[in-house]
Structure 1
Amino acid sequence: MSTAAPERTPRTTPRGPWRRLTSAARAAARPVYQGIAAGSLSSSAVGICVSALALTILGSMMVLSASSVEQISKAQSPYALFARQVGYALVGIVAMFAASRVPLRWWKSRTLIFWLMSGTIALLLLVLSPLGVEVYGNRNWLALGPLQFQPSEIGKFALVLWAAWGLAKTPQVAVSVRAALLPSILGFLATFALVMAGGDAGTGIVFALIYAGALWFARAPMKIFRWSAILGVAAAALIVVASPHRIQRVIGWLVPSRCGASDACYQSNAGLAALASGSWWGEGLGESRQKYNYLPEAHNDYIFAILGEELGFIGSLVVIALFTVIALSLARVILRSSDRFVRIAAGCMLAWYIGQAFVNIGMVTGLLPVIGIPLPFISYGGTSLMMSLFAAGFAMSLTRAPTHPALELSALEEPERTSRLEN
């Protein structure tokens, strides 16, 4: 006589040291999450708006200071780039407030998202055509008559909407990986591949960060992140070894003693010298010495070095504090919103702004190898500034989404990420 096998009692505690550690970390972080989520989402909109405007104003001032000497050396007006940056800022600010009033249902429109992504891919393809413009070895500009812009900056926002829409279609991404991941990952791979085909590794990193943020806040299985990390390291190694100049930069970053005053290390050394001379309070606004044609791209990728030299460590902390306000404001949206699309989109924006700022500041301070990537809101550049401000308006519009009560955070109550891929 056979007896029925006893039912297996579900395990109620995490298995293995890693899961016990993550469970303990989650419990310890819960008060922090509750503190972030305690405020209203209207305060998040204010935080994003004020921080974006403050960074833009500070950036315009630093563009004037960092670019004036170079413009004079070219027999041009010292205010030329500053005037352009202010014009870009005004257009971007108008776009920011306009985007902040767009209803959420419009952002979630499948038609809008499809045509925006399709248009972005078409523009990125044109960049690789004779209409594309190569700057410092990167083919990431498109010239259409008198208009010259970077389609990849538009692509960042297109990827935010595309990834949030694709991953929000199912309540839990692990329930149907095929249905949830395929639309979003195809859009990511297409835009990422086209950007990398133009040689713009810095922007490619930002695209990868945006999509990684989408997967994380969609609660994708950890197996995806493990394989992505392996493939990412392999791809980064291939990108480095494909360029002798990149090899020299990485070697100089890993072994500074072997770098010396070579061309590959000149920019990073000049940037570190600018930061060091700034000390606590800086040399004073407009008093930088490195901007006298010593530091390449002083008004662009390396503007944080000039800021640190003129405004010192305290000024640098102010910039980091403003980005922190943006991060906390977006984190509140993620924790409080009951709309899955909104949570994923806010996570993408968090990865975009904070990831790009971290890479830029890390590059300038020597924590990361030199990568051509601008500092959001601050570096000179029309397309970058206008799209950063427009995206800030989009982030502000997310704060009008339905919310959970402050102490009933669904993001904290969702089940743990599964390590298996189902379906």
Structure 2
Amino acid sequence: MSTALPAEERSPRRSGPREQAAAVLGLLDRPLTSYYLVLGCTFMLLALGLVMVLSASTVDQIQATGSAYTLLQKQALWVAIGLPGMWLASRLPVKTFRAMAYPLLLLSAVALAMVLVPGLGQSANGATRWIALGPFQLQPSEPAKLALVLWGADLLARKERLGRLTEWRPLLVPLLPGAGVLVLLVMLGSDLGTTLVLLTIFLALLWVVGAPGRLFVGMAGLVGMLVSILIVVEPYRMQRLTGFLDQSADTSGIRYQGTQGVYALASGGWFGTGLGEGRAKWDFLPHAETDFIFAIVGEEFGLVGTLVVLGLFGLLAYAGLRIARRVKDPFTRLAAAGATAWLVVQAIVNIGAVIGVLPITGIPLPLVSYGGSALIPTLIALGMLLAFAKREPGARQALAARGPGPVLRALSWLGLARR
């Protein structure tokens, strides 16, 4: 009598493509998936940003200050300020974000108006965007993005609860005038890139709240017409657009920065020239540490490095939209979608300009480019997404089962917190 075991009992069963796909989907369906995706993508992009700011600014800073670490030290300071802000935002209740909406909108409008006052506003590259505060410069248009997200989400959430979103007037008033004030103030400072991001947030809020199709198409057409007018009225924008559309006709050098960015990407090949070994930053590529830092990533880390960056922003977009889809509170859903649209569209516009598929608008790559005015509101917005991720179904129970985090465990070990 044979005692041989059946084949399925003699060797472990190998998982096929279906089982592997099911396992991946199972991981993505966990309650804390959004939380960990936002947290992980944020820290990886921040770390990459610090490394690339150092690499991209080394040559210029040695020439200007004698130290290669000047911008890195400033960026590290902004990170040291922004991370506690993100941590605090991740622990705030939803009602606190709603309470911040109107004061932040008012402060942003006042600060944007101050930028336009002669003697207060600082201009560079054809745009007036900054207020000088001693050795630092504040760009009020960056917190204005967060203000529009919070105020628009709070406004529409209140109207949705009252059932007042069936007609165009309750839907657009006062959302359209409020957003229009911010857009107008930014436009007067000749900042087209930030104008595009603010208009994107406005359209994202309308889309998520369920605006009628005709109304949404009409608003999208109005946005397109406004952007076209902004391009036509400024000669240098028309030069950028015509240079982008017909590069062979660019005799004024307006495409110089974009051309050097493409050269940097092309010279990186598959795996790059190596960290710190890029040549574009040797006075060939202007603003390498800000608007065109993605080109330095491509040159020194190659196609693989750029795909990693794209993948991280893709995961961040997935996590933000997952939060917006799974939460039940209208304000949380709208704010999560608005913040995600802001960060992802800004990344798309920046990367699209670097690789040559979009005109150059001069907006930074979130979390990676140098600049504290953009970094701190971005980190607070990501902290808000973390707070919202805790409100997904089953997330609080999963966090409670996980136990205290490493910070609380360290404080407990030191005797500074209750066990």
Shorter-chain TM-score: what band? Answer: 0.7 to 0.9
Shift of 1:229: 2.7
Say yes or no: does 1:131 pair with 2:120: yes
Shift of 1:301: 0.1
1:95 aligned to which of 80, 85, 88 = 85
Q: Is the 8 A contact 1:37 1:332 kept in 2?
A: no
CA distance in structure 2 between the partners assigned to 1:228 and 1:282 by the alignment: 43
Question: Relative to structure 1, is the Cα distance of residues 134 and 338 closer, same or farther in structure 2, using a 3 angstrom cutoff?
Answer: same
Q: Which moved more, 1:241-250 or 1:51-60?
A: 241-250
- Give the alignment's Cα RMSD to 1 decimal: 2.2
2:108 aligned to which of 120, 123, 126 = 120
Structure 2 residue aligned with 1:169: 158
* Aligned residues between the structures: 371
Q: Which moved more, 1:73-82 or 1:53-62?
A: 73-82
Shift of 1:383: 1.1
Say yes or no: does 1:401 pair with 2:416: no
User: Where does the alignment leave 5 or more consecutive residues of structure 1 unmatched?
Assistant: 1-34, 406-423
TM (normalized to structure 1)? 0.84
Q: Is the 8 A contact 1:286 1:310 kept in 2?
A: yes
CA distance in structure 1 between the partners assigned to 2:265 and 2:320 by the alignment: 30
Structure 2 residue aligned with 1:282: 272
Q: Is the 8 A contact 2:203 2:220 kept in 1?
A: no
Say yes or no: does 1:223 pair with 2:223: no
Say yes or no: does 1:267 pair with 2:257: yes
Structure 2 SS opposite 1:141:
strand
Cα displacement string for residues 283-328 of structure 1 (whole angstroms, at most 9, x for unaligned residues): 1010111110000000000000011000000000111111111111
CA distance in structure 1 between the partners assigned to 2:368 and 2:216 by the alignment: 31
CA distance in structure 1 between the partners assigned to 2:60 and 2:391 by the alignment: 47
Shift of 1:148: 2.1
Structure 2 residue aligned with 1:80: 70
CA distance in structure 2 between the partners assigned to 1:369 and 1:239 by the alignment: 14
2:96 aligned to which of 71, 85, 106 = 106
CA distance in structure 1 between the partners assigned to 2:177 and 2:385 by the alignment: 24
1:149 aligned to which of 131, 138, 147 = 138
Question: Relative to structure 1, is the Cα distance of residues 402 and 354 closer, same or farther in structure 2, using a 3 angstrom cutoff?
Answer: closer
Question: Relative to structure 1, is the Cα distance of residues 233 and 181 closer, same or farther in structure 2, using a 3 angstrom cutoff?
Answer: closer
**Which amino acid in 2 is paired with 1:166?**
L
Structure 2 residue aligned with 1:381: 371
**Which amino acid in 1 is paired with 2:237?**
R
CA distance in structure 2 between the partners assigned to 1:284 and 1:105 by the alignment: 47
Shift of 1:36: 10
Q: Is the 8 A contact 1:173 1:219 kept in 2?
A: no
CA distance in structure 2 between the partners assigned to 1:225 and 1:374 by the alignment: 28
CA distance in structure 1 between the partners assigned to 2:238 and 2:26 by the alignment: 42
Shift of 1:402: 5.5
Structure 1 residue aligned with 2:14: none
Q: Is the 8 A contact 1:85 1:382 kept in 2?
A: yes
Q: Is the 8 A contact 2:86 2:381 kept in 1?
A: yes
Q: Is the 8 A contact 1:152 1:203 kept in 2?
A: yes
Shift of 1:37: 11
CA distance in structure 2 between the partners assigned to 1:188 and 1:271 by the alignment: 33
Structure 2 residue aligned with 1:412: none
**Which amino acid in 2 is paired with 1:114?**
Y
What are the residue-to-residue correspondences of 1:272-351 with 2, within 5 Å? Answer: 272-351=262-341
Q: Is the 8 A contact 1:163 1:185 kept in 2?
A: no
Structure 1 SS opposite 2:101:
helix
1:254 aligned to which of 245, 261, 265 = 245
Structure 2 residue aligned with 1:391: 381
Cα displacement string for residues 351-410 of structure 1 (whole angstroms, at most 9, x for unaligned residues): 1111000000000001101111100000000111111111110111111336499xxxxx
Shift of 1:181: 2.6
CA distance in structure 2 between the partners assigned to 1:375 and 1:173 by the alignment: 37
Structure 2 SS opposite 1:108:
helix
Percent identity reads 39
Structure 1 SS opposite 2:270:
coil
Shift of 1:137: 1.4
**Which amino acid in 1 is paired with 2:328?**
S
Shift of 1:145: 4.1
**Which amino acid in 2 is paired with 1:100?**
S
Question: Relative to structure 1, is the Cα distance of residues 118 and 284 closer, same or farther in structure 2, using a 3 angstrom cutoff?
Answer: same
Question: Relative to structure 1, is the Cα distance of residues 92 and 36 closer, same or farther in structure 2, using a 3 angstrom cutoff?
Answer: farther
What are the residue-to-residue correspondences of 1:343-362 with 2, within 5 Å? Answer: 343-362=333-352
Structure 1 SS opposite 2:273:
coil
Shift of 1:143: 1.9
**Which amino acid in 2 is paired with 1:263?**
G
Structure 2 residue aligned with 1:416: none
TM (normalized to structure 2)? 0.84
Say yes or no: does 1:185 pair with 2:176: yes
Question: Relative to structure 1, is the Cα distance of residues 223 and 37 closer, same or farther in structure 2, using a 3 angstrom cutoff?
Answer: farther
Q: Which moved more, 1:132-141 or 1:374-383?
A: 132-141
Structure 2 residue aligned with 1:368: 358
1:236 aligned to which of 227, 232, 237 = 227
Structure 2 SS opposite 1:264:
coil
Structure 1 SS opposite 2:254:
helix
Shift of 1:240: 1.6
Question: Relative to structure 1, is the Cα distance of residues 214 and 40 closer, same or farther in structure 2, using a 3 angstrom cutoff?
Answer: farther
Structure 1 SS opposite 2:174:
helix
CA distance in structure 1 between the partners assigned to 2:217 and 2:369 by the alignment: 33
Q: Is the 8 A contact 1:160 1:210 kept in 2?
A: yes
Shift of 1:164: 0.4
Q: Is the 8 A contact 1:142 1:150 kept in 2?
A: yes
Structure 1 SS opposite 2:122:
strand
